[in-house]
């Protein structure tokens, strides 16, 4: 369930980044209300998925840490990958799911 929560957070961070007017991955930004309402719902769902393995406070901290790391990764990678949204998306999926797969017992 942790992998699903991580991928859900990556989707939400990616779409919230695509709603910005200053992004360079797609030609037109997506709707802000759609992206940010989906972001809030995804964060709540990911936190609830993380509580299946961790405590509530730890799940909230992991969610906050992942969101900060994902937004930072999006900004850094997208500066070098103009109009290559699939590349940025697949790189984020592989990196953040790989991080949690290394920690599975």
pLDDT digits (tens, 9 = 90+) for 43-95: 999 999 999 999 999 999 999 999 999 999 888 888 787 777 778 888 888 88
Residue 86 CA, distance from chain mean position: 14
Q: Do 8 and 39 touch, CB atoms closer than 8 A?
A: no
pTM: 0.85
| CA distance linking residue 11 with residue 74, whole number of Å | 11
| CA distance linking residue 100 with residue 67, whole number of Å | 14
């Amino acid at each position: 369930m942790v992998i699903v929560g991580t991928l859900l957070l990556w989707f939400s961070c990616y779409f919230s980044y695509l709603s910005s007017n200053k992004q360079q991955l797609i030609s037109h930004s997506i709707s802000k209300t759609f992206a940010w309402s989906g972001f809030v719902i995804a964060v709540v769902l990911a936190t609830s998925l993380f509580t299946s393995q961790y405590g509530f406070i730890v799940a909230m901290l992991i969610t906050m840490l992942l969101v900060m790391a994902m937004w930072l990764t999006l900004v850094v990678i997208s500066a070098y990958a103009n109009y290559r949204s699939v590349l940025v998306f697949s790189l984020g999926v592989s990196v953040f799911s790989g991080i949690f797969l290394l920690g599975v017992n």
